[in-house]
Amino acid sequence: MSTVTKGREVQAATVILVGNPNVGKSVVFGTLTGRYVNVSNYPGTTVEITRGEARDRGTVYEIIDTPGVYSLLPMSEDERVTRDILMREPGAHILQVCDAKNMRRSLMITIQLAEMGVPLVLAVNMADEARNGGVMPRLELLEEQLGVPAVPTVAVRKQGTDRLLPLLERPSPAVAPVRYGERIEAAIAGMEALLPRETPVGGRALAIMLLCGDDSLAPWLAESVPAQRIREMNAVRNRLTEESGEDVAYRVNQARLAWIDRLLGTLGREEAPEKGVEFAQRFGRLAMDPVYGLPILLAVLFLAYEFVGVFGAGFLVDLLESGLFEKWIVPAAAWAVDRLVPWPLARDFLVGPYGMISMALSYAIAIVLPIVGTFFFGFGILEDSGYLPRLAVMVDRIFKRIGCNGKAVLPMILGLGCDTMATLTTRILETRRERIIVTLLLALGVPCSAQLGVILGMLAGVGPAATITWLLLLVGIIFLVGFLAAKVIPGESSDFILEIPPIRWPKPGNLLVKTMARIEWYLREAVPLFILGTLILFLADRFGLLPWLQKVSEPLVVKALDLPPKTAEAFLIGFLRRDYGAAGLFSMAKAGLLTNLQVLVSLITITLFIPCLANLLVIVKEHGGKVAAGMVLFIFPFAVLVGAAVNSAARWLGVRF
Ligand SMILES: Nc1nc2c(ncn2[C@@H]2O[C@H](COP(=O)(O)OP(=O)(O)OP(=O)(O)O)[C@@H](O)[C@H]2O)c(=O)[nH]1
Ligand SMILES: [Mg+2]
C-alpha cells in the first residue's frame, strides 16, 4: 500500500487481524485501537469486520478485526467474510493471532497465509494459559523456520502487544513450503498458468483453493478471468478429482497437518512445572457430562431466574417504578408542567396516560432498564466463563432432531439477549438450511432479554405453575416447529465441530465494559422507539383511533384469546419493540386488569408474536423478502392459535393458575 501523508502523521498500512475463532483477536484489536468490540469466551463472537485506527510513533495504521476462521477455504458465511477481506485489501499487512495452546490449528492458517504471499507477523496469544499448561512452544525456533516474527502475548493483560505495531511496519511473507504430491502439484501449476498474472493474493494459494472446490470464489473469477479460461480451469480440476479419486481438500489438509507436526516436533516446548487439573477445568468437564450436566444447567437457569426475574424485574423495578417514577418523577413533572405550560394538551403529552414521561420514559427506564441491565450482566458471566459451548455439547443430540447441531444453541441463547443480533450470528452455522431454521425459531419463540425479563417478572407474580407451563410450552413449540421445519426445508445439516474453550473466571473489567456497552446500545436503540410507540398511541388516542383498534382486533383479542380489549395496544407496540409490548402487559397486570390465566395467555401470545421491526429487517437482509414474508405469515396466525388453544385448554381443564 502506498504511503499517504495525513497532516504530520503517516498513513502506513492496513493491518488485518486473522486467526482461529476465540483466540483473542478482538482483545488484541481493542488494545491496539482503544476501541471496544465484543469479546466473549466462545468461538463466533465476531461475525462482521470492524475497523479502527492505531498510532505508533507518528504512524497511523488502519486495523481490521475479522471473524475467526478454521481455514481460509471458507465453510461458513463468517469465514467467507474473512477470506474476502484478504482479497479486497491487497497489500495489507496481516497480523495472525494464534492460540499458543493450539499451534497445530493456528499453523494451518499460517500455511495458507504463506501461500498467499502476504506480509505476516504472528502474535502467539494466550501465552499465560499455554505456560500454565506446559505447552508453550519455543518461539525463537518457530521464527527461524517461518522467517517471520512470532511474539508471545497475553492480550488480556496487554503483555507483548506493544511489540506488534513496530514489527508490522515492514513485515515479510512467511515461508512454509508444503508440497502436496506430484499429481496435485501438476494441477496447481496448470491452474496457476490460467490465472491472471496480477491476483489479489498469491496465484499458488488461489490455485489450491480452486482445486479444493472453493465455489465462493466464483464471483471473483467471473470478474477477473475470461469465460473460456474458467472452463479450462474447471477441466483441470475435474481431471484431478477423476485421476486421484480422492477428495483433494482432504489430501491438501493431510499434507499440511503432516508438515505442521514435523515443524512442531522440531520446536520443543518451554520448560514448565507440571500442575494438577484445576477446579475450573474439572467443572468444565462436568458441565458437558450427560448426567452431571443437567443439574448444572438447572442450577444455571435457577440462578439466572433469581438474578434477572426476582432481583432485576422484582426488586429493582419496584424501586424504580413505584418508588422513583410514581412517587417522585411523574408528580414532579406534572407539577412543573402545570406551572410552565398550562395547556391541557401539553400536560397530557408529557404526563397523561400515553405521556412521554409517564409512559415512554417510565417503561424504558423503570421497567425495562433494570431488567436488561441485570440480564446483560448475568449473560456476560455466562459468555465469558466458557459455559455456553459446553451447553452446545449437551444439547447437540436434541438439536440434531431439528435439523441443526449443538452449535445452533449459541445463536439461540444469544437471542435471549437480542434476536436481531442473534439472527446475524446464525452466520456461524454452516448450511443455509440451518441458518433459516434457527432464524425462524428465533423470530418465533425466543424472547429477547428485555421481553424475557418483563415476562419473568410477570410470571413470578403469578406463581411457579404458570412459569413452568410457559417454559414447557415454549420449549415444546420451539422443538415441534423446528422438527417440522427440518422436514419441510430442503438442504443439508452439518457436522458438529465446535471448539471448547477452557473455563475461565470472567474478567470484571471486560464484564463491566461489555454490560455498559450493551446498556448504552439498548438505550440508544430502544428509547427512540419507545418514544415513537408512545407517540403513535398518544395520537391514536387523540384521534379516537384506540377504540377502533380495539374493535377491529376484538375477534382475535377478546373472542379468541379472551383478553381485555386494551391488550391490543400492547400487541400493536410489541411489533415496534418486543419488550415495549411486554412492558405494556406488565403494567396492565400490575394494575390488576388481567387474571392469572389471562397473564399466561397474553404472555404466550406475545412471546410467539411476530418479531419486532428491527429483527424483521435483519431477516430480510440475510434471507430476502420472500423468506421474511413467509415467516411472518406463519408466525402471526400461529401465535394467536396457540394462545387461543392454551386459553380453551385451561378453561376446559378448569385450571386458573
Ligand atoms: N487467559 C487469556 N485469555 C485471553 C487472552 N486473550 C483473550 N483471552 C480471552 O479469550 C476469549 C476470546 O477472546 P476474543 O477476543 O473474543 O476472541 P476472538 O479471537 O475475537 O474470537 P472470535 O471473534 O469468536 O473469532 C475471551 O474470553 C478473552 O477474555 C490471553 O492472552 N489470555
Ligand atoms: Mg472477535
Question: How far away, in angstroms, is 38 Cα from ligand 2 center?
Answer: 7
pLDDT class of 155 with cuts at 50, 70, 90: very high
Question: How far away, in angstroms, is 31 Cα from ligand 2 center?
Answer: 13
Q: Is any ligand 1 atom within 6 A of the Cβ of residue 67?
A: yes
Q: Is any ligand 1 atom within 6 A of the Cβ of residue 22?
A: yes
pLDDT at 297 over 80: yes
Helices (H), 344-490: 344-351, 369-385, 387-401, 409-415, 419-425, 432-445, 449-462, 464-488
Q: Is any ligand 1 atom within 6 A of the Cβ of residue 469?
A: no
113 within 8 A of 72, measured Cβ to Cβ:
yes
Q: Is any ligand 1 atom within 6 A of the Cβ of residue 39?
A: yes
Q: Which tops the pLDDT comparison, 255 or 429?
A: 255
Question: How far away, in angstroms, is 42 Cα from ligand 2 center?
Answer: 9
Report if pTM > 0.75.
no
3-state secondary structure of 109: helix
**Helix, strand, coil abundance in the chain, percent, nearest 5:** 65, 10, 25
Question: How far away, in angstroms, is 153 Cα from ligand 1 center?
Answer: 12
Window from 19-28, 134-143, 276-285, 295-304 with minimum mean pLDDT = 276-285
pLDDT at 45 over 80: no
Q: Is any ligand 1 atom within 6 A of the Cβ of residue 78?
A: no
Mean pLDDT of all residues in 12-25? 93
Residue nearest to atom 7 of ligand 1 (CA): 24
In the numeric block, the cell 417504578 is attached to 321
pLDDT at 173 over 90: yes
pLDDT at 98 over 60: yes
- State the ligand closest to the CA atom of 20: 1
- State the ligand closest to the CA atom of 25: 1
3-state secondary structure of 495: coil
pLDDT class of 216 with cuts at 50, 70, 90: confident
Give the CA angle between residues 216, 220, 224 to the nearest 5°: 150
Q: Which tops the pLDDT comparison, 556 or 119?
A: 119
Contacts of 479 (CB under 8 A, 6+ apart): 398, 401, 402
Instruction: Please report the atom of ligand 1 found closest to the CA of residue 127.
Output: 31
Residue nearest to atom 10 of ligand 1 (CA): 24
pLDDT, the chain, mean: 87
Cell of 383: 459468555
Alpha-carbon span 184 to 199, nearest angstrom = 21
465: burial class by Cβ within 10 Å (0-12, 13-18, 19+)? middle
Question: How far away, in angstroms, is 588 Cα from ligand 1 center?
Answer: 44
Specify the pLDDT at position 525.
75
Specify the pLDDT at position 527.
81
Question: How far away, in angstroms, is 388 Cα from ligand 1 center?
Answer: 14
Question: How far away, in angstroms, is 290 Cα from ligand 1 center?
Answer: 27
Question: How far away, in angstroms, is 97 Cα from ligand 1 center?
Answer: 10
Q: Is any ligand 1 atom within 6 A of the Cβ of residue 40?
A: yes
- State the ligand closest to the CA atom of 39: 1
Alpha-carbon span 137 to 110, nearest angstrom = 15
Alpha-carbon span 63 to 171, nearest angstrom = 15
Instruction: Please report the atom of ligand 1 found closest to the CA of residue 154.
Output: 31
**How many beta carbons lie within 10 A of that of residue 74, not counting itself?**
20
Query: Given CA atoms 555, 560, 563, 569 in this order, what sign does their dihedral have?
Result: negative
Q: Distance from CA of residue 349 to its chain's centroid? A: 38
Mean pLDDT of all residues in 156-183? 93
Residue nearest to atom 32 of ligand 1 (CA): 126
Specify the pLDDT at position 1.
40
347-386: per-residue pLDDT in tens?
888 888 888 888 888 888 887 788 888 888 988 898 899 9
Residue nearest to atom 30 of ligand 1 (CA): 126
Alpha-carbon separation of residue 7 from 57, 60, 75, 321 (angstroms)? 14, 11, 42, 52
Alpha-carbon separation of residue 122 from 52, 236, 642 (angstroms)? 19, 35, 55
The separation between the first and the last C-alpha atoms of the chain, rounded to the nearest angstrom, is 69
Q: Is any ligand 1 atom within 6 A of the Cβ of residue 498?
A: no
DSSP state of 496: -
Mean pLDDT of all residues in 261-270? 86
Alpha-carbon span 145 to 259, nearest angstrom = 12
Q: Is any ligand 1 atom within 6 A of the Cβ of residue 27?
A: yes
Specify the pLDDT at position 102.
92
Specify the pLDDT at position 3.
45
Specify the pLDDT at position 252.
93
pLDDT at 655 over 60: yes
Alpha-carbon span 575 to 561, nearest angstrom = 18
380-428: per-residue pLDDT in tens?
898 899 998 898 888 888 888 888 888 888 888 888 877 887 888 888 8
Q: What's the full length of the chain, in residues? A: 657
Mean pLDDT of all residues in 255-262? 94
Which of 418, 402, 407 is CA-nearest to residue 487?
A: 402
Residue nearest to atom 21 of ligand 1 (CA): 22
Residue nearest to atom 2 of ligand 1 (CA): 126
In the numeric block, the cell 500455511 is attached to 111
Window from 40-49, 68-77, 231-240 with minimum mean pLDDT = 40-49
- State the ligand closest to the CA atom of 19: 1
What domains sit in the chain, N to C, each tagged with a CATH number?
4-173 (3.40.50.300), 182-245 (1.10.287.1770), 293-653 (no CATH)
Mean pLDDT of all residues in 89-100? 94
Instruction: Please report the atom of ligand 1 found closest to the CA of residue 155.
Output: 31
Specify the pLDDT at position 9.
59
560-569: per-residue pLDDT in tens?
899 998 898 8
Radius of gyration in angstroms for the set of CA atoms belonging to the chain, rounded to a whole number? 28
Question: How far away, in angstroms, is 261 Cα from ligand 1 center?
Answer: 25
Mean pLDDT of all residues in 58-66? 92
Instruction: Please report the atom of ligand 1 found closest to the CA of residue 69.
Output: 25
Percentage of the chain modeled with pLDDT above 90 = 39
Mean pLDDT of all residues in 231-241? 92
Question: How far away, in angstroms, is 45 Cα from ligand 1 center?
Answer: 9
Helices (H), 12-65: 25-33
Specify the pLDDT at position 8.
53
pLDDT at 549 over 90: no
Alpha-carbon span 152 to 3, nearest angstrom = 29
Q: Is any ligand 1 atom within 6 A of the Cβ of residue 407?
A: no
pLDDT class of 86 with cuts at 50, 70, 90: very high
Question: How far away, in angstroms, is 224 Cα from ligand 2 center?
Answer: 31
Cell of 480: 415441534
Window from 44-58, 142-156, 426-440, 591-605 with minimum mean pLDDT = 44-58
Specify the pLDDT at position 277.
53
pLDDT class of 612 with cuts at 50, 70, 90: confident
Q: Which tops the pLDDT comparison, 275 or 641?
A: 641
Structural element, H or E, at residue 60: strand 59-65
Which of 41, 29, 26 is CA-nearest to residue 381?
A: 41
3-state secondary structure of 46: coil
Pocket mutation for ligand 1, best pick of 37, 125, 156, 383 (most atoms within 8 Å of C-beta): 156
310-344: per-residue pLDDT in tens?
788 778 988 998 888 889 988 898 888 888 877 88
Q: Is any ligand 1 atom within 6 A of the Cβ of residue 456?
A: no
pLDDT at 275 over 60: no
pLDDT at 285 over 70: yes
